Amino acid sequence: MYRQQSRNLSMNAIWIIMIANLLVYMVVLVEGQLIFDLGLQPGTWLERPWTIVTNMFVHGGLWHLLGNMVSLFFLGRFLISLTGETKFLIVYFLGGLAGNLVYIALGPEDTVAIGASGAVFAVGGALVSLIPNVRVLVFPIPAPVPLWVAIIGAFVVLSFLPNVAWQAHLGGLVFGLVLGYAFRGRRRSTFF
């Protein structure tokens, strides 16, 4: 059983990431070529090493951006409440990099990968390791499901969609699971 702690939850990191993603999205709307300049392409990433980070801020459409940012908001808030903002940032950015490395290793050499999904799946994976059975609502499922079912289910469903970099999702998810496991026992007491 957990005791309740103060709810002074800093969401600054999440808001900054969301604003940065929105600003990059708006710039890309004006200058579409930036998708290729900032996106990660396995065959050319050594010539353009910045893309292993910049691709996490580029999205291919409004629904892509909204899906990632809404997921980041809810999952990130959970993770910050358990581990603090610093560990959240470690999971998010290193998980995104891990996802990108798996995409480089397993993805098509001539395809550009964009989006924060690998980083978001890392956050989800960390939560699965920390609180796997907490029940969450997932649209359109009418009843709460265990968090691990929601995260793994989202991974499986998204893996079958066309033009999805499932390799980045897998890398982020596995990294998050491992890092979340490392955080077990060192988490804050929470309201769960």
Residues 109-167: tens digit of each pLDDT: 999 999 999 999 999 999 999 999 999 988 888 889 999 999 999 999 988 889 999 99
Candidates 59, 81, 169, 189; catalytic one = 169
Over residues 57-68, mean pLDDT: 95
Can 159 be counted among the known catalytic residues? no
pLDDT at 8: 55
CA-CA distance, 80 to 13, in Å (whole number)?
9
pLDDT digits 0-9 by tens, 6-28: 445 688 999 999 999 999 999 99
Confidence of residue 3 (pLDDT cuts 50, 70, 90): very low
Q: What percent of the chain has pLDDT over 70?
A: 91
What is residue 56's DSSP assignment?
G
Candidates 59, 81, 117, 159; catalytic one = 117
Q: Is the dihedral of CA 73, 79, 80, 81 positive or negative?
A: positive
Peptide bond into 144 cis (omega under 30): no
In Å, how far are 3, 37, 163 from 113, measured between CA atoms? Answer: 42, 11, 9
pLDDT at 184: 87
Please tell us whether the domain made up of 12-183 is placed in CATH 3.40.50.300. Answer: no
Burial class (CB in 10 A: 0-12, 13-18, 19+), 150: buried
Mean pLDDT computed over every residue of the chain: 91
Can you give the pTM of this predicted structure? Answer: 0.90
Give the number of other Cβ atoms within 10 Å of residue 69's Cβ. Answer: 20
Confidence of residue 192 (pLDDT cuts 50, 70, 90): very low
Task: Choose the weakest-confidence range: 4-13, 83-92, 99-108.
Answer: 4-13
CA-CA distance, 40 to 56, in Å (whole number)?
9
Can 129 be counted among the known catalytic residues? no
